[in-house]
Structure 1
């Protein structure tokens, strides 16, 4: 598949522009900070990565919003992990500030067209209470606030079994954050409300309406605990033509369409995670549950990761899994007694429905990697993953060929250079 020309044209000028202005912006902001005047700063981050997958009948990818990956499309792919981001932080006064973050990475339109991840204004009402208005990162999972910043976490990428669950990563709305203490435990609680629209390619859209949720992070020395609960009403165009065909088949078909169509359907994501990091080593674990009353189904995921810091080197291990807790197959409409031609059409509808249900991820991954902090604000990472879709599912793989078989292990090797500036 050919790379969209606008992707290359937009990715590298964004990088050059941010690098050119970054140093001067920091100097201005430092001077403004010392004098108390309003000021601004430009910073950025990026990942230059390449991944190889042994699977020849599907693509390994790190996001549901990418058009391809490593495997069937190409043996070695830069699209799995490569991205570039730039951020502007502005102080507007004693209590007011603003942030704008733009990220360029491959999307479903096969371009690297930049997307605004954050764009909000904050009012610091008290030292412990802050209010924000605008586009805000959804606080789902431990690494939610920095999941695009590869340098901020030890791995090449966060475990896909957990972080690949929903396409919504931000919300256009409001939130309130309150910092408080209970004895030696420092807490940060967040309430938020908003909506999101993702338009990854052509006429394909995904809407999250009435996004509401709560997040709390508790820090006690080297231990950090985070709990999140997010609810939204999801609507997408996925399967629209198929469900129209089911509706045309009569009341039984209409009932199937109502059950699985992703149209104003409730979606809930809850997670709890822990990060214990005394300095020389770390241990992270997170469990999550996703429930949707639609084709997206319901899943439970879990991962655990541990690493040891040996000077500039950090070897680490990851074990993760995701399982469906809802039906991944449906008998569909009965074909018995139908004329042969009509029976074939109905069977085709049933097969198409089950192909979509097989996209509910069920997968195990075991990974080992090494991070090398080779220079200030720069880290080189190597990672090997054994990825095994289970129980007839394609797992998190995409672009399947007819020869794909669930249960076969894909071996994925990744190299990534992460940096911040």
Structure 2
């Protein structure tokens, strides 16, 4: 009977050894004796997804994150890009205390290339049986799938719900972390704290850096029940929208107040999330809820989803409902136009429209999904999914590249198929 691995372990373990019979990873490995007799071992494992999706919305692109340049919809009828990826991972055990991992992932980037990028690259020191320290590039402890988000085989859906997961476009930190494992009766816990920074892979001339990044997470396992609580906070520096806010500030105190309120440069951004999963074997029920907060045009949002599935031999039908809503302003009156001469009123009105265009990018939408996972073999799964998506009136939801003819508050449909594998 196949088991899910929500929150149970790291993707490193999943790829190398398999989890509760769900994956059969075939490793290329070697070992050599250390001077103290401890083995030095290394292993190579990999994963990948080939996907195709089609959207009925023809005036915007459906995709999975703002770090994709396009998707299915206005750019093309079918897209094989945003779900498709391939990854390879090297795990090295130097001795009983020291180990390292490097993971490379090739997937669609903002420049439309598939140039591989380093997803993970860190060294771990096992200080005690309960305490582990790492430094390097480390997965951010966010969401139930934090340790295996890129490994499509590891979760039942075609993709995690975009209403929540697209709110965090980057999933790694360059820095240090500490993980302490502790027990409270029959409840097994892993508490993690990290410090670092992140540089989202934007395309010139845009740039962004998240400094003073702090994250903490606690995962609790009690039999078939899993609970994960996460929080991340960072200081964001970016030039996105810089020209708009400089132009607003030139209109005096009113414009300067708008620039201070909505500019994203040197602003604190934070995210919190709670996820639960119950998986006794023949079925599963999982749910997550969270929110983002920033005093800028990026706004504040709240998101949640619930998903359930039933396993019958090699088949797992499932259903998901998810939503994201704004928790702050999504429109702004902007610069006062009364009394301005035409030479100033026209550009002021244009700037007001540009500001509201930015605010309209705050995602608000709901999705209802139904899907089927078919485990073809121990390390390969074929998935089909249908999504009914509806952006809230005035928002483009999570869509990209809307045309002037795009209209919100009307549902559209997405059909997807993926083939996931691990080795």
TM-score range, shorter chain: over 0.9
Judge conservation of contact 2:363–2:397 (CA < 8 Å) in 1: yes
Aligned to 1:333: 335
Aligned to 2:260: 258
Aligned to 2:220: 218
Q: CA deviation at 1:369?
A: 0.3
Judge conservation of contact 2:291–2:300 (CA < 8 Å) in 1: yes
Aligned to 2:3: none
Distance 1:133 1:184 in 2: 31
1:352 aligns with 2:343: no
Write the deviation string for residues 373-418 of structure 1: whole angstroms up to 9, x where unpaired.
Answer: 0012100000000111103111100000000011111200000000
1:134 aligns with 2:167: no
Paired residue for 2:232, among 221, 230, 245? Answer: 230
Q: CA deviation at 1:258?
A: 1.1
Q: CA deviation at 1:186?
A: 0.5
Structure with a larger share of its residues in helix = 1
Paired residue for 1:270, among 265, 269, 272? Answer: 272
Judge conservation of contact 1:168–1:208 (CA < 8 Å) in 2: no
Paired residue for 2:73, among 61, 71, 74? Answer: 71
Q: CA deviation at 1:298?
A: 0.4
Aligned to 2:180: 178
Write the deviation string for residues 85-110 of structure 1: whole angstroms up to 9, x where unpaired.
Answer: 11110011120000001111111111
Task: Decide whether aligned partners of structure 1 residues 29 and 398 sit closer, same or farther in structure 2, where only a CA change above 3 A counts.
Answer: farther
Judge conservation of contact 2:82–2:107 (CA < 8 Å) in 1: no
Judge conservation of contact 1:49–1:415 (CA < 8 Å) in 2: yes
Q: CA deviation at 1:254?
A: 1.4
Q: CA deviation at 1:31?
A: 10
Distance 2:118 2:205 in 1: 20
Judge conservation of contact 1:329–1:357 (CA < 8 Å) in 2: yes
Distance 1:31 1:321 in 2: 53
Aligned to 1:107: 109
Distance 2:87 2:264 in 1: 31
Distance 2:417 2:81 in 1: 12
Partner SS, residue 347 of structure 1: helix
Q: CA deviation at 1:248?
A: 1.6
Paired residue for 1:208, among 171, 194, 210? Answer: 210
Distance 1:180 1:30 in 2: 32
Paired residue for 1:245, among 226, 233, 247? Answer: 247
Write the deviation string for residues 121-180 of structure 1: whole angstroms up to 9, x where unpaired.
Answer: 000011111000000000111111111110000000000010000223110111000111
Q: How many residues are matched?
A: 397
Distance 2:82 2:274 in 1: 26
The gaps in structure 1 that reach 5 residues or longer are: 1-21
Judge conservation of contact 1:191–1:214 (CA < 8 Å) in 2: yes
Q: TM-score of the superposition, structure 1-length normalised?
A: 0.92
1:374 aligns with 2:348: no
Write the deviation string for residues 170-212 of structure 1: whole angstroms up to 9, x where unpaired.
Answer: 1011100011110010001001110011132122222111111
Question: Once superposed, what is the RMSD of the aligned Cα atoms?
Answer: 1.5
Task: Decide whether aligned partners of structure 1 residues 76 and 126 sit closer, same or farther in structure 2, where only a CA change above 3 A counts.
Answer: same
Task: Decide whether aligned partners of structure 1 residues 49 and 29 sit closer, same or farther in structure 2, where only a CA change above 3 A counts.
Answer: farther
Q: TM-score of the superposition, structure 2-length normalised?
A: 0.92
Q: CA deviation at 1:29?
A: 5.2
Q: CA deviation at 1:315?
A: 0.3
Distance 1:58 1:125 in 2: 51
Partner SS, residue 126 of structure 1: coil
Judge conservation of contact 2:305–2:323 (CA < 8 Å) in 1: yes
1:196 aligns with 2:168: no
Paired residue for 1:167, among 156, 164, 169? Answer: 169
Partner SS, residue 341 of structure 1: helix
The gaps in structure 2 that reach 5 residues or longer are: 1-24
Write the deviation string for residues 246-273 of structure 1: whole angstroms up to 9, x where unpaired.
Answer: 1122221111111111111111101111
Judge conservation of contact 2:385–2:416 (CA < 8 Å) in 1: yes
Partner SS, residue 334 of structure 2: coil
